[in-house]
Structure 1
Amino acid sequence: MSSSLLPPVKGVRLASVPARIKDWQRDDLLLIEIPKEASVSATFTQNSFCAAPVAVAKEHISKGNVRALLINAGNANAATGSRGLSDAQACCEAVARAINIRAEQVLPFSTGVIGEHLPLQRLLDAIPRAAEQLSDSGWDGAAKAIMTTDTHPKTASRTLEIGGEEITVVGIAKGSGMIQPNMATMLAYVATDAHVAQPLLDKMVKEAVNASFNRVSVDGDTSTNDACVLIATGATGSQVENSEDRAYSALMGAITQLHIELAKAVVKDGEGATKFVTVQVEGAGSSAEALRVAFEVGESPLVKTALYASDPNWGRLVMAIGNAIPGSLDTTKVNIYLDQVQVVEAGGRSVNYLEEQGEQVFSKPEFTIRIELGRGNCSEHVWTCDFSHEYVTINAEYRT
């Protein structure tokens, strides 16, 4: 196991081992052990074809006192029927035997190809090995073990002071394709060693996810396996028990910013992505309307291919905006900016706009598309990326 660059979180131990779930030479099974005094909260995919491990994890977390997480890469164990459920449960039972807890205290997670059964015996053989290697310095190896089409691991950490004591927050995520909000959008695991009351932790994970992972899109597809887990081990003396406390605000801020960092990393590592783009919508009649417009623009294949080509084809932007608000948009109030360059004014091409200006912005690796609707005072944003030739290649060859 490689040495960790991320700081340990008091009370959390991790181990990554190779289970050979696919024909690769790498760690692909992660075990996370947490103390009995920990609080655990999670959000899960809304996809109706939710994977077997999602169904089992939902059932187990509802019983409380979660003590371990098991994550495998390479196989999603989704659309696998009753066998998939029994395989997920068997993995929980193996973890329970290995670290002397109950199976219902284990949350299973899987990511990878949909529609194939787990190579169960390989996982059962690997779990005891993982239990033997548990260490508080395993965060970086953990981030690598959960990768699928990711090109690099996604990690983040924060430290802050609460009540004179240093508190650590560490998170890892995986995600590159099949990324779309409606939590979750991928797999993410975040832990802090603060003590947080369960109701507050539930509030924290929902708010942090809404500000981060529910504001990103790579391709508009919500996975069958998505989840985001937030763990508070309670291993330090610092306690967060009231949402009105300064301690809550400080910890909530750190956790939210960490989630945002991970969410942006997912978009920047979008399959074949070459551009990271913020779509900012202002002057909407409601937050829901602003998000609808932002996602319509951010998910449009025509917009995303123009981004890749560095072609400031603003006609595709107005098309997407019009699709989001059919029939009721006063287009004469719409303005569009590419960074600081105004390309659309009062619903038409800005008289001062030069094509070369748009090309300069669209050629940048990161920029903002800002849309003014003139319908109200609500604003929202999403983060998206382009569609490249490589995106098609990766997904065309995903199972080979």
Structure 2
Amino acid sequence: MARTWPLMAAALLLAGCTAGDPVPRPSPPPAVVPTGVPTADAAPQRLPFGAEPLWSTTDGKQNRVELAGDALLTFRGDRLRVSDARTGAIRWSVSTGDPAPGGGTYSAPGSARVIGDPARDWSVVTAYRDGGERGLIGLSGAGGDKLWRIPAGRTGDLSLGPATSRTATAVLTTAGRTRTVAYDLDTREQAWTAAGVRPAAIQDDLVLVERTGAKATLIALDRETGKESWSLAARYPRSALASTAGSTLIVDRGEGAAVVDTLTGRELTTWPARLTDCGSSATILACADTGAGPQDDQAVTITTVDDAASVSTVPGSTGCRRLRVWEDLMYCSGPDGTARAITTTGGTADPGLPGIPEAIDARFAVFSDGTTLSVYAMS
């Protein structure tokens, strides 16, 4: 994405000079300021999206919002809706109870997962039920057409878990007993099953699961075989996955957070408070430090070098509870709903965002004020 901030800064400097003004005396060239990092006395820079939204909707509060190519996906309760991100026109929508291709009805499409390349050929995985039978169904992102269907058998309950273009997971519950089942999306067959665990994420060639019950802990299973690759049980008797970011995991260890290497499960560093809502770009890995209460909320950045990691607080980020990351900026919002964009050094890039950041990519930025969802074009 072409950056526009330096041009905007130049425009601000030129705004004070008109044809009738005296020509200013030449002065030394200004110091170079890194893009997106204002100096302490500089005016906040406008972020790279339009001043007015392309469109807005008041279609209730969404549980989740995602961008995929030129489409906006909104997940609310038992409904999935796919709209044109530029115009807001609805392309297709499914709700619980709607007829599913091949028989039966859709089940909880509001929990559907987007798989594939979001910028190109993407699709959606959701669940269906047909009498006593449950299963998974893949739908085309373009039009919602059926791509495939995998029966899971007659089970008491099925909850969709994380999915990628190669593997989909589900939690099956029968007679009070829970098990995770992984499906190979190339062969459309069950790959493996693991009892007493729930899937939390799929990273690289691992399925990260959390053991249920009194000894809840994070375990990594091989994506193809289901065999255990590593476990945090010995180090953290009670642990859960907080966030994933590339080759790094953020783990809730009960007494704060740990930064863990995804492939090995090795601890890189720890932090005394819980870290949530992490996001990453090519230059930033950031999380919200929820602290002891809203007054202690702040943003932190995590730097990983070789076999070690460090966590640093972001100056001026007090009150930051929810984070979205885009390139070299953190879009931050607090419990009161106010939102702003800040840099890793604590500079304010924009003090008044149009709402809480929901989703951002190279083409669109989506914000919500709690009742209205608005889509802006990135410049």
TM-score (norm 2): 0.25
Taking structure 1 as the reference length, the TM-score comes to 0.24
Higher fraction of helix = 1
Larger Rg, first or second structure (1 or 2): 2
